[in-house]
Structure 1
Amino acid sequence: NKAYDEAYQIGLQDGFKSAVDQRLKDINQAIDDFQVLVNSIHTIKTDLIYQNEAHIVSTIFRIAEKIAYGHIAENPDFVLPVIRQSIELAQADDEVTVLVSPEQIDFIENLKKLSGRDFDFLKNIRLEPSDKVMSGGCIVETNYGVIDAQVQTRVEKIWTELSQALPKIKKIAG
């Protein structure tokens, strides 16, 4: 009887130890599985941010573009610094023609009459209206070539530079 009780206790302890070991093994496996899940969620989050970064930058650029065009429409005198900078790139003793939008040529002529501002930078320049040029920009033609300072051209150049720097979106198998 005593041997039976001892054998029973040993069996009970072995069974308990075996059950605890199995349960610990199951818990450790569950923790490992959970860690894999957490890591994959982090990877998915990082991939989503990376893949949407190009879209986010594109959206911000488009918003800035709309704001810039709207700002030029509200403040037509913004074209003067653009014209001045473009002309400064051309040499003063050269034949220089500046193409501007028809609305801008009217604005500049009225501004010359009404403002009394310094327009010496235009003295050797021929201003011509052109339907090719959008309001807010200009095209400067010289003996040496053409300087395209249209807002659209500058915005496109900025976008080209930005888009080359954007991360490439990887294809997701699906």
Structure 2
Amino acid sequence: PPDPRLEAERFLQETRRRAEEIESQAYNQGFAQGRKDGEELGRRQYEARAQRLQEIIRSLEDQVRRMLAKHEAQVIRLATAVARALVRTEIRTNPDVLRVAVQAAMERVVEGSRVRLHLHPRDAEIVAEHYASGAAAPGRSSVEIIPDPQVRRSGCLIETDFGLVDATVETRWQALSEAVEELLRERTRLPAAD
């Protein structure tokens, strides 16, 4: 007959082995589940942080757009002032700028008309040399150059039988400024770019 003690001992060993097996299996399942849960938690945290970062980036982009829109007019005015200073320097040092400006203004004058060209006295000397031959004013019966201290450098007033052409620096800058401001007004009416 089987020895009850041996049977009990075998039963205890089998129970221990089975308990260790169950414990190991439970540990492995718990570890795997914990790992899965941890990875899922980490993924959710990562996605939440990534989404928050995207929101911050969009917010910063919006702030930059608003700031640029708010200061765009000032930047354009500053750029215009700098350009004006550079043009004034160029006008003083390059007589071709004056010749081109006068020629452009003369193109608006009706052919065959008598022309009285009012220029700053220093500019009158430069233009007089250019018009001395008469080749610079084809189709004009006469071009009279009048030194006029009221006209600023690189500007001119052209008096004809048909009226006055104002090609002063101030008038040209005013036209340019109005065009830039109109462009700015059109831009501010447009929706922001994404």
Report the number of matched residues: 165
1:164: which partner in 2? Answer: 182
Say if 1:137 and 1:151, in contact at 8 Å, map to a contact too: yes
Q: Choose the corresponding residue for 1:100, options 119, 134, 142.
A: 119
Say if 1:92 and 1:124, in contact at 8 Å, map to a contact too: no
2:89: which partner in 1? Answer: 70
Q: Choose the corresponding residue for 1:41, options 36, 60, 65.
A: 60
CA distance in structure 2 between the aligned counterparts of 1:71 and 1:24, rounded to whole angstroms: 63
1:91: which partner in 2? Answer: 110
Question: CA 1:95 to 1:34, structure 2 compared with 1: closer, same or farther past 3 Å?
Answer: same
Q: Percent identity?
A: 17
Return the TM-score normalized by structure 2. 0.62
Shift of 1:18: 10
**Structure 1 stretches of 4+ moved >6 Å:** 16-27
1:74-97, CA deviations, whole angstroms, 9 ceiling, x for partnerless residues? 123432232233223212322321
Equivalences for 1:134-153 in 2 at 5 Å? Answer: 134-153=152-171
Q: Work out which of the two has the higher radius of gyration on C-alpha atoms and give 1 or 2.
A: 2
Report the secondary structure of 1:89's partner residue. coil
Alpha-carbon RMSD across the aligned residues, in angstroms, is 3.8
Structure 1 gaps of 5+ residues are 1-11, 170-174
CA distance in structure 1 between the aligned counterparts of 2:53 and 2:106, rounded to whole angstroms: 66
